[in-house]
A and B are shown apart, each in its own frame.
Chain A
């Protein structure tokens, strides 16, 4: 778990495999909240926050409850000879969704309490994070860090740190894409666009062009 490795993860998830522009995850808030820069940034910050929390929480749950290895808590409590009896990998998706939903609910409550202005700005988009595939995506992608490979045997610490870095990188990449898109869309507001294309259609065009430009990062690593 060298610095280079962490940097590769961070940079990779932020630019090369950007959740929105390369993996096409989380498009709903991407189009919904990118109308002006202010909302886009606050949405991005919320996503960074939720992504980090989701990365940490799902990584702990995966490591201690769902993986069939020596550290599985259930294996340690109930004992037995074969830890693979406790391999619950098939539960991942549903458990992660549960965890993320709870987290977002929690964040929403805190935001309403602490900053009603921010809540009004994001309106209905906060619940969108609940079912945001970018969040679920980062949680599922994190699982790769827990897999043993020929070169190294993962520990909980390395898994956690790598997940955290992936969460931060993914969130920042998301925010960056939102910011770029909101800048473009603010200009689209006063651009004479053919009537049938006004609004979301032209935003799709712009997004696809941005996505193509992000292909340029592909060869970097």
Chain B
């Protein structure tokens, strides 16, 4: 049976454009820009100086707090400078710039196979922390934090997220069918760290081949593959838990409140590399798609490399209207292609057709947003309250539970920018809480 959650929409998924493209290695960059803000939480702290020689896999920045992550150099070479550089989330952030010397030398102790099964959960967790692994689904939340639930929260199941519900993106799909062993082994490490015996892998019904592979590979480890309805946002944590386990995460709560931890398939593969091969997070898989490129592709990119050359290789057309990092629903539009790729880049879309500028109109109370909100909120009221800057009332209407999936904005016949309005409200509420 195909399971799902309440609400949501099914936009045209456009995955056919890139789903048959095998993963290929991106052109090796001459220079990498390692932003210190590639994750949620405190920025990383650089531990190298300008002029230092670094090798592939060497740590260049250590976590700046508990909710933070490390950054490693994906190339061997010289640290050219440490300065603010444009990055994905905003105009400028400190970045370590490393010049590639082309020798491709591994750092001592890296790329050495070890037997992870003989390591304790604590050792594995520390390994994950120092390997700079964050949620590769796009949220970039440091993975070791998610894997460290407080002792009073009893975790009984782990869920692996292979849903990839955002239209266009096929990176996780390619990973699941091309390198299923990395994914499953990584998931076993996650289960060991959490001490659970029951694991689920959620896969959307539009990827039947990935479902079958996951089912076969996982069967002998007590991992169950679950077929899920093709619906956005099926891959959002809370919706995935609701679909697979039928549990509802309480308002303001986390998945660990209902005994679950959800990880992305890409994260699992990275965890496998870190624990079994001693390779920190240096690369990730990224989809390049959209009608603005002449050939779509799934790349294994080097973190910190510039987007420009990759787009060039894909045949970027003239007259691009929008360059989106991530999927079309939740992704961020970026002003230029001179931006280094980071841990959270699951895809880059170059769009020409269908990018329109809409004037928002009055809310006509059609309640489409309410019918489709996967969190059961009332987006129309939230958006109207945001219009008059009544953020206290927004908090009473549970604005903080919004997952910013964008379904309301997608459905709105008046083209109201509901998510953006709720985002503003959330930011103001957080600011007033801090006070």
Contacts and interface: CB of A to CB of B under 8 A. Distances in A.
A touches B in complex, CB < 8 A: yes
Contacts of A189: 388, 390
Interface string A178-221: 00000000000111100000000000000000000000000000
A190 B385 contact: yes
A206 to B, nearest CB: 15
A157 to B, nearest CB: 49
B122 interface: no
Contacts of A191: 384
Contact of A192 (B381, B387, B390): B387
Most buried by B among A190, A191, A192: A190
Interface residues of B, number: 9
A189 B384 CA distance: 10
B431 interface: no
B362 A192 contact: yes
Contacts of A190: 381, 384-385, 387-388, 390, 393
B310 to A, nearest CB: 45
Contacts, number: 14
Interface string B261-297: 0000000000000000000000000000000000000
Nearest to B384: A190
B387 to A, nearest CB: 7
Interface string B375-394: 00000010011011010010
A46 to B, nearest CB: 26
Nearest to A192: B362
A190 B421 CA distance: 14
B394 to A, nearest CB: 10
Nearest to B362: A192
A190 B381 CA distance: 8
A190 B387 CA distance: 8
A45 B345 CA distance: 59
A191 B384 CA distance: 7
Contacts of B362: 192
Interface string A84-125: 000000000000000000000000000000000000000000
A192 B388 CA distance: 9
A192 B360 CA distance: 13
A179 B363 CA distance: 25
A190 B363 CA distance: 11
Nearest to A190: B384
A152 B393 CA distance: 56
Contacts of B385: 190
Nearest to A191: B384
A190 B393 CA distance: 10
Interface string B345-386: 000000000000000001100000000000000000100110
A189 B363 CA distance: 14
A189 B389 CA distance: 12
A191 to B, nearest CB: 7
Nearest to B394: A190
A9 B290 CA distance: 71
Contacts of A192: 362-363, 384, 387
A189 B390 CA distance: 10
A166 B96 CA distance: 81
A194 to B, nearest CB: 11
B303 to A, nearest CB: 44
Contacts of B390: 189-190
Nearest to B385: A190
A192 B362 CA distance: 8
A177 to B, nearest CB: 23
A150 to B, nearest CB: 54
A189 B387 CA distance: 11
A96 B106 CA distance: 98
Nearest to B390: A190
Nearest to A186: B393
Contacts of B393: 190
B378 to A, nearest CB: 11
A190 B390 CA distance: 8
A189 B393 CA distance: 11
Contacts of B363: 192
A171 B231 CA distance: 51
A13 B377 CA distance: 38
Interface of A: 189-192
Across the A-B interface, the 10 shortest Cβ-Cβ residue pairs: A190-B384, A190-B385, A190-B388, A192-B362, A190-B390, A191-B384, A190-B387, A192-B387, A190-B381, A190-B393
7 contacts: A190-B384, A190-B387, A190-B388, A190-B393, A191-B384, A192-B362, A192-B363
Given A190-B385, A191-B384, A192-B363, 8 more contacts: A189-B388, A189-B390, A190-B381, A190-B384, A190-B388, A190-B393, A192-B362, A192-B384
